Amino acid sequence: MKKILLPVLVIISIFMMATYSPKLSQGLKGKARFPQEFVQGEVIKVLKEDLMKDPVVAGKFRGSQTLEVRILEGKYKNEEFVVYNSLSALHNVYADQGLKAIFTVKEEGAKPTVWLYNLRRDRSIYLLGAIFIGAVVLLGKMKGVKSLLALAFTGSVIIYVLLPLLFKGVDPISTSILLSSIIIVVSFLLIGGYDRKTYSAIIGTICGITIAGLISFGFGKIMKLSGLNLSEGQQLLYITRDFRLQIEGLLFVSILIASLGAVMDVAMSISSSVN
């Protein structure tokens, strides 16, 4: 009964998190100074281009293009815009006729501004995901299915619970430890079953990630590490203007989540090898 009940409860919890978390997160969003959205669009025609071969990376170009683009979704669906596309060392998306890509539409005045953001990669990601799921199920059989379920539960907790709570202003250290412990318990019981080895692995993993996280947090304080000196970290300083995000503990959260998989793998391997 336990073997059937737990997977059913996990599936229900994933569905509930995916359904209700976006609704609860609506109130956490700050008011955008310049509303923008990311939408799919298609390049109808390349009106003009001034390009040269990239002197460093083969097959790349630098310069600029003027494109005629049709937006395929969102508020401006089926409307056409003239888009200026700059190709530099950092932003280098070459466009040709018929290209379907992701465009940014920003409303700064009476007329929206549109530019080419990036290529569409969703089909390749879906294909890679399908190959991964098929390989796990083929090689792991029922344990593979349970592993995928545990992975889906982990992702749901991080995306639908942890991130909204962090933006709401809760303490990142205690929250990440609590949610990581829940992930560990559910994942180990799904994969390992109900026995003393699994219980030992659960206790060891929870202690392991907590100790590792606290050591990282402590020495990060001593060495004055924050992660905010990076370009991505500096963007968090702008986000905190509209949210109650406690950025001081985010480095700890990232270390804890990153170490979760490795510590769980070691704990399961050790528990499986013990007679």
Name the most confidently modeled range: 84-88, 212-216, 218-222, 252-256: 84-88
Q: Would you state the pLDDT for residue 256?
A: 80
pLDDT-based confidence at 235, cuts 50/70/90?
low
| Residue 157 neighbours by CB distance under 10 Å | 19
Q: Would you state the pLDDT for residue 115?
A: 87
Q: What percent of the chain has pLDDT over 90?
A: 13
Average pLDDT over residues 216-229: 71
Per-residue pLDDT reduced to its tens digit, 12-42: 998 988 888 877 666 655 555 557 788 999 9
- Where do the domains of the chain lie? 2-26+141-273, 36-120
Distance of CA 149 to the CA centre of its chain: 18
Strand order in the sheet with 61-71: 80-87, 61-71, 36-53, 100-106, 113-119
Looking at residue 186, its amino acid is V
Q: Would you state the pLDDT for residue 42?
A: 92
Average pLDDT over residues 231-260: 70
Average pLDDT over residues 69-76: 89
pLDDT-based confidence at 92, cuts 50/70/90?
confident
Per-residue pLDDT reduced to its tens digit, 132-188: 999 989 988 888 888 889 889 998 999 899 888 888 878 888 888 889 889 989 888
Q: Would you state the pLDDT for residue 275?
A: 47
Instruction: Spell out the SS3 assignment of the chain.
Output: CHHHHHHHHHHHHHHHHHHHHHHHHHHHCCCCCCCEEEEEEEEEEEEEEEEEECCCCCCCEEEEEEEEEEECCCCCCCCEEEEEEEECCCCCCCCCCCCEEEEEEECCCCCCEEEEEEECCHHHHHHHHHHHHHHHHHHHHHHHHHHHHHHHHHHHHHHHHHHHHHHHCCCHHHHHHHHHHHHHHHHHHHHHCCCHHHHHHHHHHHHHHHHHHHHHHHHHHHCCCCCCCCHHHHHHHHHCCCCCCCHHHHHHHHHHHHHHHHHHHHHHHHHHHCC
Given CATH 2.40.50, say whether it is the number of domain 36-120. Answer: yes
pLDDT-based confidence at 4, cuts 50/70/90?
confident
